[in-house]
Chain A
Amino acid sequence: MNIKQMIANYSLNHYKTVTIVMVIITLGLAAFIPLIKVDTDPENMLSPEEPVKLFHHHTKKQFNLSDIVVLGIVNNKHPDGVFNVDSLAKIYNLTEFSRTLQWPDKNHPDKLSGVVEVDILAPSTVDNIEQGAPGEIRFEWLMSRPPATPEEALSIRDKALSNPLLKGTLISEDGKALCLYLPLTSKDMSYKVYTELKKEIATMPGDEEFYITGLPVAEDTFGVEMFIQMAVSAPLAMLVIFLLMLFFFRKLVLIISPLIVAMVSVISTMGLLIGLGYPVHIMSSMIPIFLMPIAVVDSVHILSEFFGLYTPQKGRRETIREVMDNLFTPMLYTSLTSAAGFISLALTPIPPVQVFGIFVAIGILMAWVWTVLFVPAYVMFISEKNLANFGTAASAEHKQTLLTRLLHSSGRFTYSSAKLIITIMVILTAVAGYGISRIRINDNPVKWFSKSHPIRMADTELNRHFGGTYMAYLVLDTVKEKGVSSEYLQALTQRLKKKSDELKNEFPQVDSAFNEAKTILTQNAPTTNDKDTLLDDMSRFANDKMESLPDHDTMYDIWYELADFFDLEKENLKLFKQPEVLRYLERLQDYLAGIKVNGRTLVGKTNSVSDVVKKVYQELIDGRPENYRIPDTSAAVAQSLLQFQSSHNPDDLWHLVSSDYMHANIWCQLTSGDNMDMNKVIAAVEQFFRDNPPPAPLAHNWAGLTYINTVWQDKMVSGMLQSFMGSFLVVFIMMSILFRSPLWGIICMIPLTITIVLIYGMIGLVGKDYDMPVAVLSSLTLGLAVDFAIHFLERARDTYRQKGSWQASVPEMFGEPAHAISRNVLVIAIGFLPLLAAPLVPYKTVGILLCAIMTVSGTITLLVLPAILRLAEKVLFKPAKQLHGVSCNCAFCLVISISSVLLIAINAHQYFKIGWSKLTWISIVIIPLSALICGIMSRRKACKNL
């Protein structure tokens, strides 16, 4: 008795024990589910040590930046937009309300979390700078209180429009709409803030339209709605699958078993995931959706077979034993291949995808275990009486269904028109190949919502009016030079000389101090670490000199002036106070504003320290437009900035420049959150830096959520591709071993290869973005599409052995085996269509793609495989030589070795980050070596005996 019979017998004899054990294990794991921790932050797609992420957090800390909820207010009914007494009063009240959106932090009870009150950007929280009476500069709140008259309302509009810092950010370019920016202590507060704002807005009837958006809101809201969706979609899919199975098998009592297997697998997988302490991320929330079709597939095969073989004479026990005998091996392999497809995701460098892959794989294996153990046991619970009139024997003989007729005629067609089928497939594949070349890799969390969702609508509306609601930060860092160059020392000495010459009029005794300072300077310079230290030392030296003297001494004044000279030199090292660097920033910003794709501006607005300097300087001079410029001296820059700091919000400056003026942040507002667009901006900026070398050494880096999203997308796409290649090889090796022939292995891979090419070709042709769900579905395709091929080819070989020719086998193959495949296709394809009703786009994508994958792979399996078998009958079914051990087959050995080498290379590249060139060299050595070993093995004595 072999192992499969032992398992079947055990299950049949101890069916009660098996059931009880299953229930206990499932309940045990289900007990962990209440401990669920949810993580809806796409940022966690990157591992915590990811340099990009570390830099992002460093930037946020350095410039006190927060993730921002954007609340836009538009009034299309009033001729002045929102700049009327009523609307502005509402906006004022809403700002006051948003100040209160703070709650005690869960982790730090002494701190508050929610809206960062001091950083709120609203008409009542920003300063207006303007010319007052002649020679007067006026500072005041832009809107200290709601306006009382229409004139006051319009004057607020005009003030805001005349401030370049506010235009496009706070006030729309057309002067009709306003945006409030509510920074959050942490991103995961955004849904709460969003909900509270919506509640408050609901109490404000009127002509205004309120829009809330921003990546944090989109991401957090998606997380919340995703879980609601899971609770609706997954059970709904289950229900439809149930109804379809009821339609096919007509025995309620029987079809409950696949549902139990699916439910048990989903519950125990999720229980295990949660129990092991993993948070449920966007990816892992999709586990049930992915697991369900796979878990159902095997049971449908069993039921189909049972349906076909059952006769009352044989009885359920004998029938199920026969079924298990036929299906055990293909089911084992289909499960292993599906699991392999998913487990390969463990090698992508994205933690949530790793968790997803591993747990789907575990789920698949659990589903397999319960399918082979529980389904037979379940059949034992059904009394024979209940199975009366069940099965093909009872129903089919006299009742040809549409499906069976269709299958039989397509069977005949594959035999008669094999060449035609192959030709059509080749053409289709070529077209799809072209489609793949046009695939557009792009993702945008806001577009995860369907077009009618409030967040998506807000996004469209606000990005039309304003500079953009997607934040990215271009950070410029001073590259400090080590040591003090002789050129610098020389220039510094010259400047010191000039200074002392200037002082000579007032203090004729300056020469002695100058000479003393110069000596110390020349002495210290070569051994000092950097310019700052040198100047600090010199300033301290001059100060010490000064303090050793009584303050009425002339030398006291001279040393004071020299200390000041060195202090000033040190200030001049602070790059972002230097006019030429600020002008460079200005040019970079102009360049950013000019980046266009198809006439569409990508960066709607930028703000930097340059803008602040220009605005304050302009108003300090006389407010005339021509004075909106960077002043000519760094002292004028510093003095303008000090004046800016005498405002209500002095710290606003530190969002744009570090307080040591060594780092600057260009705050970019993008009109689109599409990664594709962000990538274009990144590339354009690289080009700018190549074409325009900065006046001083500057490093540039990006931060901000819009940027972070592009980084994990890149990892996702390349990671997925490599995982896919890896699992493709694993499945191929497994298939070659299963069929004991690399040739059959290749044939088995054909349907899934064509399916994937067609599906992705279609995505390319239709213009659907290749985004996260699409990327993940490639693994599912691999698992599901190969299933059908395995079942079909296994049965084809069995049948051929019995019938002796392919022509004679076709009718049988297009009987029960084809039937099982078609049923599976229909059950899963239709079963997941309810996902289309979901308001979240990734769910729709999964629904459509699952449907397409099942339909295409089923069709290809049933059309192309028989056509190939027909054409290559002689080669494939040649008289069996397989009695030799597998190790004697030189070609087999070689193919397996080469695939294994490639597999290891792909994984090594991904996991240990070994470069491709290195791996190529290693492979060039290993492949001939394994060829040699294969050759020797196949020629050894043991192989010649037979």
Chain B
Amino acid sequence: MSFSRIAVWVLLCSVMVWADNETANQDKTPEKTETPDVSTIVNKANFMAYYQGQDGKSRVKMTITDKNNTVRIREFNILRKDKQDGGDQFFYVYFLKPADVRKMVFMVHKHTDIDKDDDRWLYMPSIDNVKRISAGDKRTSFVGSDFLYEDVSGRSLQEDTHEIIETTDKHYVIKNVPKDKKNVEFSYYNVWINRDNYMPVKMEYYDSNNKMYRKIEALTIETIQNYPTVVKSQVTDLAKNSTTVMEFSNVEYDIKLDDIFTERYLRRPPREAMR
């Protein structure tokens, strides 16, 4: 099926929902005339979440708390560079903690083309070995936390159909339904997107019984170098009764990263990665 047909269909649906809202609760959508179409919203939101600046770096601390209240910590530096805005990207993740995984590197060449898998590499310093990683899907845990690989790298907009299901004072609520249900564990997810700056601030994942089982929330947003940035976010896995908090520090944008996203830099990490 062609993309344009889906877009038209999505547009139609959103208009219908929007029309429905208008008749049912008019007071809820005071600025209805300004509501942009759904693809504009999701595109802008995707930019806010993953494409701020040309590149960037940050120190990340992950605190995983399981149902027995046991806490595990992961700390790493993450470097990002966009190959093209809104398109392919490079990530370089350099581990700091726990101490025995220090210097481990995880590198990704992300491809937004739906038919092309991301290229991923792992460097294990203990055996001085570089291994390419291929995965059946992107819904695997990110280093044992409740975040998934896809939460960190971003999910291609082409993988879902999008629909505005509600417009509140502050948010657009978008329902996203996967086109191919086989590679994902959810049946749909809703995203709350700030109306003023298009920052996605909450995502709720639903299973086939329409039960929410997982949510991600942006807890703190700061403006860094004029870029609104989520500096603290949390994922809650309701089925496992486990949460992971991700805190970003030392965030910098547009640092003019060299072309360090190659295999040879895995063994010799650049200074930006270690700091």
Contact = CB atoms under 8 A, between A and B. Distances in A.
Interface of A: 61-62, 64, 100, 117-118, 132-133, 135-141, 144-145, 551, 564, 567-568, 570-572, 577, 620-621, 631, 633-640, 642-643, 645-651, 653-654, 658-660
Given A621-B129, A647-B140, A139 B104 contact: no
A135 B130 CA distance: 8
Contact of B141 (A137, A564, A646): A646
B36 interface: no
Interface string B128-150: 01111111110111111100010
Nearest to A571: B100
Contacts, number: 124
Interface string B97-137: 11111101000000000000000001011110111111111
A603 to B, nearest CB: 28
B139 A643 contact: no
Contact of A648 (B99, B131, B139): B139
B137 A140 contact: yes
B8 interface: no
Given A647-B141, A648-B141, A136 B100 contact: no
A132 B70 contact: no
Interface of B: 66-68, 70, 72, 95, 97-102, 104, 122, 124-127, 129-137, 139-145, 149, 182-183, 209, 239-240, 242, 275
B66 A659 contact: yes
A551 B127 contact: no
Given A118-B239, A621-B129, A659-B70, 17 more contacts: A62-B68, A137-B131, A137-B134, A139-B133, A141-B137, A551-B275, A577-B100, A621-B127, A631-B127, A636-B126, A639-B125, A639-B126, A642-B101, A642-B104, A647-B140, A648-B140, A650-B141
20 contacts: A100-B209, A118-B239, A136-B134, A138-B136, A141-B137, A144-B137, A564-B99, A567-B99, A568-B102, A571-B98, A571-B100, A621-B127, A638-B98, A639-B127, A642-B95, A642-B101, A645-B143, A649-B141, A651-B242, A659-B66
Contact of A144 (B67, B132, B136): B136
B264 to A, nearest CB: 14
A193 to B, nearest CB: 17
A635 B129 contact: no
Contacts of A636: 124, 126-127
Contact of B124 (A572, A639, A645): A639
A139 B98 contact: no
Contacts of A634: 100
A638 B140 CA distance: 19
B126 A643 contact: no
B132 A638 contact: no
B132 A135 contact: yes
A639 to B, nearest CB: 5
A635 B126 contact: yes
A729 to B, nearest CB: 50
A639 B100 contact: yes
Nearest to A144: B136
B66 A567 contact: no
Given A136-B134, A570-B99, A577-B100, A646 B126 contact: no
Contact of A650 (B99, B131, B144, B275): B144
B132 A137 contact: yes
B99 A646 contact: no
A637 B126 CA distance: 9
Contacts of B122: 137, 620, 643
Given A634-B100, A639-B124, A136 B182 contact: no
B100 A140 contact: no
Contacts of B131: 135-137, 620
Contacts of A138: 133-136
B129 A620 contact: yes
A62 B66 CA distance: 11
B78 to A, nearest CB: 15
A542 to B, nearest CB: 12
A620 B124 contact: yes
A635 B135 contact: no
A140 B99 contact: no
B234 to A, nearest CB: 18
Contacts of A631: 126-127
B207 to A, nearest CB: 9
A645 B141 contact: yes
A642 B209 CA distance: 32
A405 to B, nearest CB: 76
Given A643-B122, A646-B149, A564 B102 contact: yes
B100 to A, nearest CB: 4
A564 B66 CA distance: 26
Contacts of B183: 144
A640 B104 CA distance: 11
A660 B73 CA distance: 11
Contact of B97 (A117, A567, A633): A567
10 tightest A-B contacts by CB?
A140-B136, A645-B144, A567-B99, A638-B100, A636-B126, A635-B126, A568-B99, A136-B132, A650-B141, A650-B144
A620 B132 CA distance: 9
Nearest to B209: A100
B69 to A, nearest CB: 11
Nearest to B127: A636
A582 to B, nearest CB: 14
Contacts of A577: 100
Nearest to B135: A139
A806 to B, nearest CB: 76
Given A621-B127, A645-B143, A638 B101 contact: yes
A633 B99 contact: no
Contacts of B67: 64
A133 B132 contact: yes
Contact of A133 (B97, B125, B134, B149): B134
A633 B149 CA distance: 28
A634 B127 CA distance: 11
A769 B86 CA distance: 73
B107 to A, nearest CB: 13
Contacts of B139: 648
Contact of A137 (B72, B97, B133): B133
A137 B134 CA distance: 6
Nearest to A539: B99
